[in-house]
Each structure stands twice: as C-alpha cells, then as structure tokens.
C-alpha cells in the first residue's frame, strides 16, 4: 500500500568504464563519430582552461567552468539533430560549441558584449542565469513546436541544484500533461555551489522524479560520452513520439562553481581524486586507443589545433568594439514598443549630459 523509496531501483546506463573498456556489445557509435565527439570534448576543455586564465587576468568577466562535464555535454549535443533547440544555463559551453555557435561569441558573452547573446543562429537560446528559468522557456518552445507540427525537440540543461527550483517542477509537470517534445538534461555534478547532493534532495536519484510527472526517466554515467550519446538519441526519439524525458547525467564539476567560488572551502581532496580517475577525456582516449584508432601523436596534434582555434577566437572577440548603452535597446524586441523608444531617447540625453 505504501510507496517506499526502497522499492525503487534505478540503474545507471554506462557503455565504457573508466579504464576505457567496453561494458556491452553492439555499441552503435562508429570510429569516425568517436573521434569527432572526442575532438569536441578537447575543444571544450581547452576553451575552458583558457577562459579560467583569462578571467584571472581580468580580460573576461565571471566565468562558470565546465571541466569534468565534457562527456555529459558533448555526448548529448552530438545526438541532437540540426533542427532541435537548446535552452542552456550558464555552463553549457560544450553544447553551444558542438551545436555550431561561433567560439568568439562565447568569449564576447563573457566580456558582457551584447553580440554574445545572439545565439539563435545555431538553434541555441541565449544563456539563462536565473536558475531553472530555461526549463520554462524550453517547455514554451516545445509547445510551440508541437502546435506548429514541427519536427524539432527542445533540449534544456540544468544542474542538480536547479532541480530544487519551482521552475524545474512546473516545467516537468506541464511537459507531462501536454506530452511535449522535450528532453530535460540534468547534469548532476554533485555540488550546488557549496551544497552537496545529499543536502539538496532526499530522493536517491534525480531520474526517479520523472515518475511523479508521468514522463520517462533515465540515469546515465555522465562521464561516458558513448552512453550519453546513445541514451540522448533514444530520448530524442521518445520526445518526438510524445513522451518527454528527464535524463540525469551523473558527473562531477572538477573546478569551482564560478570564478567567484573556492571549492577548497567545502570539498575534500579525496573526492576530487576519486572523480579525477573518472575524467571523461581520459576515458574516451583510453577507449579509442584500445580500439586502435587513436594514439598520443594524434592527441597532441588535436590539442595544438584546439589551442590555436581558441587563441584566434579570443583575438577576434578582444578586437571587437565594445557594446554601448544605446545597443541595449536594439536587442530586446524586433520592433521597439513606444515605451522602449522613449527610454532610449532619454538614455541618449543622459549620456550627452
């Protein structure tokens, strides 16, 4: 009669272990796809490391690093189709890059440049800083796609801490009721800033929350790019058929929450060592090396190309003329409302004074 948590067992999907060994037969990812996914993961890692250094130098603003979450991001993004939409939080650098957003735009965003917010060209909505709000936006986009009978799925990303926000639960409820074409990807990186996952929720997993909203749920090893790709691909097919999906990617944030945070104040070195052995890039490299399709020389060349690309993108961003106050009014509506036009007129007058 009573529903008890002990009755529920949620398995974690994994295809490749931390030593690079395949855990099942019939992995559907080709050698070319593996190499391409890994190249995106490397690109995201190199961008991330450089951005951290640039912020410390005062050349960009506050930055939210993704190191350790490359497989969760690239594996899921690689499974999307060109016409699918992404609704990101502030940490989805890897997703945005893989979906085709120019790297210089990501740097411009970190500099506070308005051009950095123009992301729809890659079917990526602007970064959402309000925790959980992107879930509501994604539901709205999915509902519009359903209403217009478009062949597209909305995919939104949120952290484990964001699942405590009301917006997250409202979005899941709405998606379940209307059977929307949407996938919620929760990157469970173990920490909501300084709050550990066991203080964030009482349920054993995030994936099981799907049951309360009448949608499909799945838990995936978020450091396994192959598992993320295969599972997200299935999730998109389910969403297209009218079953929303909640996908929990179990991973670890290797760096600080943002550059304004110091994880040494709340995280033990033993935890970082434990998760460091599960590093997603190291795992993917070991797997491909075992297949005979990768080696140290190719790896070195890939990192060098990524470094050059990141340098070139930052140089473009740094040489771009900065946004001015007047530019703010040009990036809100396609056609200005009378009130906005009046505000712009007043702002111009204030600047001249």
Which residue in 253, 225, 257 sits closest to 69, CA to CA?
Answer: 253
Active site residue 87: no
Give the contacts of 210 (CB within 8 A, at least 6 positions apart): 172, 216, 217, 245, 246
How is residue 58 annotated by DSSP? T
- Of 38, 253, 283, 287, which residue is the catalytic one? 253
101 CA to centre of own chain = 13
Q: How many CB atoms lie within 10 A of CB 261?
A: 18
Residue 305 φ then ψ, to 5°:
-65, -40
Percent of the chain that is helix, strand, coil (3-state, to 5)? 50, 10, 35
- Of 266, 274, 322, 345, which residue is the catalytic one? 266
Residue 113 φ then ψ, to 5°:
-85, 135
The DSSP-derived string for 274-291 is HHHTT-HHHHHHHHHHHH
Alpha carbon separation from 73 to 40, 185, 237, 279, 328 (Å, rounded): 10, 9, 18, 14, 30
39-42-46-47 Cα dihedral, nearest 10 degrees: 60
Q: How many CB atoms lie within 10 A of CB 323?
A: 18
Active site residue 253: yes
Give the contacts of 131 (CB within 8 A, at least 6 positions apart): 89, 158, 161, 162, 165, 167
- Of 50, 91, 113, 257, which residue is the catalytic one? 257
Q: Which residues are catalytic?
A: 253, 257, 266
């Amino acid at each position: 009669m009573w529903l008890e948590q002990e009755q529920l067992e949620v398995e974690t999907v994994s295809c490749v272990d931390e030593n690079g060994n395949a855990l099942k037969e019939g992995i559907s990812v080709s050698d070319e796809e593996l190499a391409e996914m890994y190249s995106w993961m490397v690109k995201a890692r190199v961008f991330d490391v450089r951005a951290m250094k640039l912020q410390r130098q005062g050349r960009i603003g506050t930055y939210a690093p993704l190191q350790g979450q490359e497989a969760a991001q690239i594996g899921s993004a690689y499974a999307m189709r060109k016409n699918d939409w992404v609704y990101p939080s502030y940490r989805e650098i890897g997703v945005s890059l893989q979906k085709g957003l120019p790297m210089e735009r990501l740097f411009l965003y970190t500099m506070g440049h308005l051009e950095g917010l123009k992301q729809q060209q890659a079917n990526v909505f602007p970064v959402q800083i309000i925790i959980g709000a992107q879930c509501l936006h994604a539901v709205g986009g999915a509902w519009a796609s359903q209403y217009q009978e478009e062949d597209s799925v909305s995919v939104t990303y949120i952290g484990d801490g964001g699942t405590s926000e009301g917006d997250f639960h409202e979005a899941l409820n709405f998606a379940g009721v209307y059977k929307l074409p949407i996938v919620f990807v929760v990157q469970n990186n173990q920490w909501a800033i300084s709050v550990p996952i066991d203080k964030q929720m009482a349920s054993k997993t995030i994936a099981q929350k799907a049951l309360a909203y009448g949608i499909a749920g799945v838990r995936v090893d978020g450091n396994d790019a192959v598992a993320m790709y295969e599972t997200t691909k299935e999730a998109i097919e389910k969403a297209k058929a009218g079953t929303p999906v909640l996908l929990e990617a179990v991973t670890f944030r290797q760096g600080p929450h943002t550059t304004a945070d110091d994880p040494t104040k709340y995280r033990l070195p033993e935890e970082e060592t434990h998760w460091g052995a599960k590093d997603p890039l190291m795992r993917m490299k070991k797997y491909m090396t075992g297949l005979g399709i990768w080696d140290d020389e190719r790896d070195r060349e890939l990192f060098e190309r990524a470094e050059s690309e990141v340098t070139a993108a930052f140089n473009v961003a740094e040489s771009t003329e900065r946004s001015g106050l007047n530019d703010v009014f040009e990036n809100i509506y396609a056609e200005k409302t009378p009130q906005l036009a009046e505000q712009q007129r007043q702002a111009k007058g204030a600047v001249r004074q």
